[in-house]
Amino acid sequence: MGKRSPDRLNWAVQQCRDRGLRRTKALEEVLRTLIGSPRPLTLADLVESKALRNQCDKATVYRLLMRLEENGILRRLGLHDRCAYFTMKYPGKHSDYLICSECGTIEELDIACPVEALEKEISAKSGYRKLYHELEFFGVCPDCA
């Protein structure tokens, strides 16, 4: 899959079809907005986005996010008692994040994944295939410190 937005949107729409999700304008706009964002987005970010502001209500966007997460197309990030952030899950690519336990800010780690070698070792020793991980580090950001 290419890194261009149309390629990613086509891939995401096909993933939705394969999982029995109906293709709607709201679904496409949620996917397009998440794909085009350089960072994970909250429900409020999506609802207030130019593409969705007049398209559908908050409950519709929430239901879409839940379905997309349940079907493995999105990843939910954040502290359980705080606002959730959502980001796309692409095959063969993952991102690791730093999450502030004070303000909830989320940043993508800009270093090579420290767990990939361990993942390969676990796969080799356990026989598990298609092994993957999702890594989130929690702490206090410089602004809150």
Which of 72, 91, 110 finishes a domain? 91
Q: Is the pTM of this model over 0.95?
A: no
pLDDT at 80: 66
43: domain CATH number? 1.10.10.10
**pLDDT profile of the chain (145 residues), mean per 10:** 74 94 93 92 92 88 95 86 84 84 86 86 92 86 92
pLDDT at 58: 92
Neighbour-count burial for 31-68, b at 16+ CB within 10 Å, e otherwise: bbbbbeeeebbbbebbbebeebeebbeeebbeebbebb
Taking Cα atoms as reference points, which of 16, 132, 5 lies closest to residue 71?
Answer: 16
pLDDT at 131: 82
Domain check: are 69 and 23 in the same one? yes
Burial class (CB in 10 A: 0-12, 13-18, 19+), 2: exposed
Domain check: are 18 and 80 in the same one? yes
119: domain CATH number? 3.30.1490.190
Interacting residues of 55 by C-beta distance below 8 A, sequence separation 6+: 25, 26, 29
Domain check: are 57 and 98 in the same one? no
Domain check: are 120 and 109 in the same one? yes
- Alpha-carbon distance 46 to 76, whole Å? 14
pLDDT at 3: 62
Burial class (CB in 10 A: 0-12, 13-18, 19+), 86: buried
